[in-house]
Amino acid sequence: MPPAPFYPPADASTYRDLFLFEERPKAKAALGREAQTHRNTLSRSARCFLAFQIFIIVLLGLA
């Protein structure tokens, strides 16, 4: 005969633990998206700076 399934007690601490367990991955994902956006912003600004530098070099080379 299989053992009876375990059900945690239905009290406030159980619901709080479950809520924290479910919210932790959501919070990590949000932080990851924020960090990814920040990295993209930095790389975008670096590309802009590099394009400006190349433009100046070409402009000075033609003069």
pLDDT at 63 over 70: no
What pLDDT score was predicted for residue 61? 87
CA atoms within 13 A on the CB side of 10: 0
Q: What is the pLDDT of residue 39?
A: 66
Distance CA 15, CA 37 (A): 33
Predicted confidence (pLDDT) per residue in 10-53, tens digit: 899 989 999 999 999 888 888 887 777 766 677 788 889 999 99
Q: What is the pTM of this model?
A: 0.41
Backbone angles phi, psi at 13, to 5 degrees: -65, -35
